[in-house]
Amino acid sequence: MTAKPDARHYRALFLSDIHLGTRGCQAHLLLDFLRFNDAEVIYLVGDIVDGWRLRRSWHWPQLHNDVVQKLLRKARKGARVVYVPGNHDEFLRNYFGTHFGGVEVMETAVHETADGRRLLIIHGDEFDVVVRHAKWLAFFGDWAYVTALSLNTWFNLVRRKLGFRYWSLSAWAKLKVKNAVNFIGAFEDALIAESKRCGTDGVVCGHIHHAVIRKEDGHVYMNTGDWVESCTAIAEGHDGSFEIIRWADLRKDVVPAEDAEDGEETSQPVAA
């Protein structure tokens, strides 16, 4: 058994792609992470609850409840918790500007770092369309770019209302393994471009399950990764420095308790 880690307190923590409600979610590791790590502000950068999957089959063991309770408890105890929904928890996109249990739901947020930089906080699925059609959009310029972005939003809104599943960029990219590196690079470029358009000094996003801190001509791109495979978070220290925390690597010995307390498992017919 590895030694108990020291409790850490950060200025800000950024988590995304937890996918509560799916079997892939490593809730035991996240719960362990939340026990030892606190922050003044916690940003939940989308795909926290997997609503698309919840509609088809329900996997909600006690551990997933515990994660939610732990986050709400941190909010009660004075942490600011901001929830920026992603494509898997799009149902929350109907609730921008509202609060529940002390958690603020926002379309995007801007975080100011200890050293005065401004960071755009966004999940990133909005840019799937830009990544897929990067060449065409570059050819037609800014107008096509902006139009494609808003079409993407409307397209997925209609799909959601009709009960279809979200078209997944990551799944698509995995099918085209040869392009995976290109696809990650294109996604990063799209997010950096968006951050520049917004006049911020950098961006914190999720969506592609690939944690990284990348600096490019004075601009920073940070991806929080996920809690399905890598179990990573981005943290800002009190001095404004940023790091990736790789919890699965730090806590190899933390294993899930027996599944005995699993919650209800039901299957529902797929809508439409």
Give the x/- contact pattern for Mn ion in 203-222, rule: CB under 5 A: ----x---------------
Options 59-67, 85-93, 193-201, 211-219: segment touching Mn ion (CB under 5 A): 85-93
Nearer Cβ to Mn ion (208/220):
208
Q: Residue count at the site for Mn ion (CB under 5 A)?
A: 5
Q: How far apart are CA 182 and CA 133, in angstroms?
A: 13
Phi, psi dihedrals of residue 187, rounded to the nearest 5°: -65, -45
Q: Tokens 């603020």 — which residue?
A: 104
SS3 (DSSP) at 163: coil
Options 52-60, 87-95, 152-160, 242-250: segment touching Mn ion (CB under 5 A): 87-95
Nearer Cβ to Mn ion (125/201):
125
Q: Tokens 């570059």 — which residue?
A: 138
Nearer Cβ to Mn ion (125/188):
125
- Closest contact distance (angstroms) between CB of 108 and Mn ion is 14
| Binders of Mn ion in range 143-202 (CB under 5 A) | none
Is residue 89 a contact residue for Mn ion (CB under 5 A)? Answer: no
Q: How far apart are CA 77 and CA 73, in angstroms?
A: 6
| Binders of Mn ion in range 94-133 (CB under 5 A) | 125
Task: Give the residue at shortest CB distance from Mn ion.
Answer: 207
Q: How far apart are CA 219 and CA 15, in angstroms?
A: 21
Is residue 226 a contact residue for Mn ion (CB under 5 A)? Answer: no
Is residue 87 a contact residue for Mn ion (CB under 5 A)? Answer: yes
Q: How far apart are CA 106 and CA 37, in angstroms?
A: 23
Residue 118: beta bridge partners?
A: 112
266 contacts: CB under 8 Å, gap ≥ 6: 57, 58
Q: Is 28 left (phi over 0), alpha (psi -120 to 50) or beta?
A: alpha
Nearer Cβ to Mn ion (201/226):
226
Is residue 47 a contact residue for Mn ion (CB under 5 A)? Answer: yes
Is residue 86 a contact residue for Mn ion (CB under 5 A)? Answer: yes
158 contacts: CB under 8 Å, gap ≥ 6: none
Nearer Cβ to Mn ion (67/79):
67
Binding residues for Mn ion, per CB under 5 A?
Answer: 47, 86-87, 125, 207
